[in-house]
Structure 1
Amino acid sequence: MQLIRWGFLVSRRVVLSLTAGVVVLGGAGALALAHAGGRPPALAHSTARYAAPEGDRDGSLTFTADVMASSGVKSLKVLAWPAKSTFARKGLTAEDMAAAEAAVCRPAGGDVVRCTYRVPVAPADAEGSPRGLWHVAVLATAKDGDTTLNTKAADFTVM
């Protein structure tokens, strides 16, 4: 009788230990999933298209990118900069992007938004712009506050 009682107690302890272990592991798994969901925004399919002004007609710069963030995308700031500039020497920072203009973002399915930035380029602006390679920098901000800075998300050439 004593062994049976002891066996029952051991079995009950094992069951309680296993249950506690499952609860602990389940909580750790939920924490890991929550952390994985909080990844910084990711960019894909970034393109820049520059059309020079012709005569009296304005040209344009258009930048497009798909942005994914598990918490949703709050904003995408865009800044075009010449490859031969102070940013090339000192590096572009998130603080430099504070005054940059925002792209317009629209849902593209799931956690993805398609962001487009379009700015006209007047003939006078084009005349005063450095010739050669330019980069497009973007600062993507998720709704949870995570950010991603890509200083060379796309390139274009000014002739």
Structure 2
Amino acid sequence: MSKRVLVPTVIGVVALGAVAAGGYAMASSTTELAVENGSAHYAAPTAQRAGKLAYSAEVSDDSGVRSLKVIAWPKSSKLEPTAAELRYAGDAACSRTSDETSRCAYTLTVSKREAADLAAGTWYVSVLATAQDGDTEFVSRAATFEVTR
């Protein structure tokens, strides 16, 4: 083969490889399932109203968000919920904010009687996010809040 044919062919193969690699990198730059900007707040019940625990977060995945399961637990309990256990936890209400992201909010009403039984101190919120494509993301300590007497 002559050098005139070989050099352009090699340059063409290298250029084609670079374009293909770039296209593959763009196609595979998918958004991983993520739970971000999570926050929790506890308000004790009063004579006028029930108390509540509220948790909210942004959940995103390139396939969309199917659900967010939420559970709160006291630090003093030494519990460490697992992803498997969270499959049976409470559901957050998720509202789509874009094709990939949803804002999820979970609210639990707390009566005076229930509040009396809550351990005072630090509490954690664990979450299990599930994407439309079935991927899951477990966050054992997605947020922290305080229960005071």
Q: TM-score, normalised on structure 1?
A: 0.79
Deviation for aligned residue 1:56: 7.0
Q: Which protein is bigger by CA-based radius of gyration?
A: 1
Deviation for aligned residue 1:38: 4.6
Q: Give SS of 1:70's match.
A: coil
Deviation for aligned residue 1:60: 1.0
More helix by share: 1
* Residue 44 of structure 2 corresponds to residue 45 of structure 1: no
Deviation for aligned residue 1:105: 1.1
Gaps of 5+ in 2: none
Residue of structure 2 equivalent to 1:143: 132
Kindly indicate whether the alpha-carbon contact (under 8 Å) linking 2:64 and 2:99 is maintained by their aligned counterparts in 1: no
Residue of structure 2 equivalent to 1:121: 110
State the Cα deviation string for residues 96-127 of structure 1 (Å, max 9, x = none): 21111121111224532111111111222212
Residue of structure 2 equivalent to 1:130: 119
Q: Give SS of 1:37's match.
A: coil
Distance 1:21 1:111 in 2: 35
Alignment coverage as a number of residue pairs:
148
Percent identity, aligned pairs only? 36
Kindly indicate whether the alpha-carbon contact (under 8 Å) linking 1:61 and 1:119 is maintained by their aligned counterparts in 2: yes
Distance 2:36 2:31 in 1: 18
Q: Give SS of 2:76's match.
A: coil
Q: Give SS of 1:96's match.
A: helix
State the Cα deviation string for residues 129-153 of structure 1 (Å, max 9, x = none): 2121111111122223332222221
Q: Which moved more, 1:23-32 or 1:97-106?
A: 23-32
Distance 1:99 1:84 in 2: 22
Q: Give SS of 1:95's match.
A: helix
State the Cα deviation string for residues 6-28 of structure 1 (Å, max 9, x = none): 7xx43333333333333333333
Q: TM-score, normalised on structure 2?
A: 0.83
Deviation for aligned residue 1:61: 1.0
